[in-house]
Structure 1
Amino acid sequence: MKKIVTSIVASLVLVTALNAKDYGSVDGEAITKQDITMVLQDPRIDFDNLPDTAKKQVIEQIVNKKLIAKNAIKEGIEKDPKYIEAINGIKEDLALQVWQKNEIDKMKFTDQDKKDFFEKNKAKFVIPELLDSRHILVKTEAEAKDIIKQLDKATKKEDKFIELAKTKSSDSTAQNGGYLGKVPADKLVPEFTAAAKSLTNNTYTKIPVKTQFGYHVIFLKEKTAAKTLTYPEVEAKISQILMGNAFSKKVKELTDELKKDAKIVIN
């Protein structure tokens, strides 16, 4: 149901108002922003900032499309069975999209509704404790101890750690100097998490850390404490959640009711 709601909300873009800017016309039919978007096929491209030659090419494509379409209609394409089938499919999709937009437009949530949801669901708005770390993974404790000795002698500890990770680590992160990125503490194996959390920023483990994968030497770049986001920080997200929940409920209630009288055959 969550996937359905996400798809539904995304599809509402198709029924938003079009840009009214004048781009010209073909036999009295306006060239719209939607026409341009369909030709460009990339929402990141801003037509208005394109070079004049590129703009001219886009408009020419639109003109050609409209002329060919008008000619096809003149020649009777609307009687073609494939055309009729396609139009029927579009009508069904459009009916669904307009209904979705109308239903969502009806959904209103007060500040109190949103604040109540926040108070009851604070756990949903917690940024977990993050560990920004590197590690070197080897098979034996002796190998790990030797790596620690080399780090102890080094002046630039992290640079040496990166060098050793690239040459000694058996983990897939070796090529990146053993970098694991910023990972929620609870997503790492317990032994690794406990050892990393015991470190201060920019230090490494002095004793090899044994896990199911082997022996680790860990370098902690930074430790970020868990944080509960404030209501102002998540108000917009709460509105989306409430809308999604309400719409999911509406869809389920309606489809459950409609299924009672529908003849449904699934092969």
Structure 2
Amino acid sequence: MTTLIDNSMPKMANGETVKVDPKPKSPEIYVNGVEITLEAIQQEVQNHEAENPKDAYLDAARALVIRELLLQKANALAVEAEPLNDDQGRRETDDDAKVRQLLDQEVDVPRAGEEECQRYFDQHQEKFSSETIYETRHILLAGALEDPVARRKGMVKAQQIIDAVQKDPKRFGEFAREFSQCPSAKEGGNLGQLTKGQTVPEFETVLFELEEGQMSPTPVPTPFGYHVIQLDRKIEGRQLPFDHVKTKIAAFLEASSWSRAVAQYIGILAGEAEIKGIQIDGADSPLVQ
């Protein structure tokens, strides 16, 4: 007789079968005796992006613990919910309203004065300048990375065009209309005004090194194929005056102060509470992040 061995259940060294609960265990997370359930965490996970499921789970659990801390404090202070509606007519939940009103009541954020804004402006002037603008034309000889034959043909043709345009620069538009496989061909290759980040890095690396009126001396490879690039005009970015940006700076400084104050407030609440099953710090708050 053939004996069938059941390997589906794990066994100890002495051969005794170990029973395994097929359902996941509760995470056993509590805030002052109130349980944060597994179901609630699983539902909250969808609101948290993370590199892996474990991190998303922990972020969701921390968010729910902090929410519970704030709601318990709001109830202890008898905060009454006064829900608001957003621009689309959606009504705030009572719990969200309580949390918002609690923070408005308990977290004091000083206004950013002009001296403080000026100091920040002076220390970070590189953040307050307009983008450099590049008025550009190009000719694209298309060829996908997975098609080496087409790319080789494109590179050869691009070099031929460069050689011809170097002899007669006025023919760039003519060649663009005839050979370019970009929609800009009908405009003589004109891409209009470009700023950093609007094209792929391979294109920008060459474009940003060109002088006004200069054409790329060799074909420029990108994932789309080979390009002939012509820089017609370069408009340097300029420093914006303080008066144009001080309102933006004040809003940023006050938002940063609010985040720090909320983190401190949550840290105080967490220190006073009995929290089991998870480590909480004020900086963990999704309100802060």
Q: What's the TM-score, normalizing by structure 1? A: 0.52
**Alpha-carbon deviation of 1:156?**
7.2
The equivalent residue for 2:242 is 231
Larger % of helix: which? 1
In structure 1, the residue corresponding to 2:195 is in which secondary structure?
strand
Q: Distance in 2 between the 1:186 and 1:36 partners? A: 31
Residues paired across the two proteins, number: 181
In structure 2, relative to structure 1, the CA distance for the partners of 1:189 and 1:227 (3 Å cut) is same
Aligned sequence identity (%): 18
- Give the counterpart of 1:207 among 192, 217, 222: 217
Two-structure CA RMSD over aligned residues (Å): 4.2
By relative contact order (CA 8 Å, sep 6+), the higher-ranking structure is: 2
The equivalent residue for 1:26 is none
**Alpha-carbon deviation of 1:251?**
1.3
The equivalent residue for 2:117 is 114
In structure 2, the residue corresponding to 1:226 is in which secondary structure?
coil
In structure 2, relative to structure 1, the CA distance for the partners of 1:241 and 1:107 (3 Å cut) is same
Q: Which runs of 5+ in 2 are unaligned?
A: 1-62, 64-81, 142-150, 279-289
**Alpha-carbon deviation of 1:218?**
0.6
Alignment of 1:1-267 (within 5 A): 38=89, 90-102=93-105, 106-138=109-141, 139-140=151-152, 141-148=155-162, 149=164, 157-158=172-173, 160=174, 162-164=176-178, 167-169=179-181, 174-177=182-185, 179=191, 182-184=194-196, 189=201, 193-194=205-206, 197-200=209-212, 203=213, 205=215, 207-211=217-221, 215-260=226-271, 261-263=273-275, 265=277
In structure 2, the residue corresponding to 1:235 is in which secondary structure?
helix
In structure 2, relative to structure 1, the CA distance for the partners of 1:262 and 1:221 (3 Å cut) is farther
Q: What's the TM-score, normalizing by structure 2? A: 0.48
Larger Rg: 2
Amino acid at match of 1:108: R
Amino acid at match of 1:147: I
Amino acid at match of 2:238: K
**Alpha-carbon deviation of 1:157?**
4.4
In structure 2, relative to structure 1, the CA distance for the partners of 1:102 and 1:119 (3 Å cut) is farther
The equivalent residue for 2:77 is none
**Alpha-carbon deviation of 1:109?**
1.7
The equivalent residue for 2:26 is none
Q: Distance in 2 between the 1:36 and 1:122 partners? A: 35
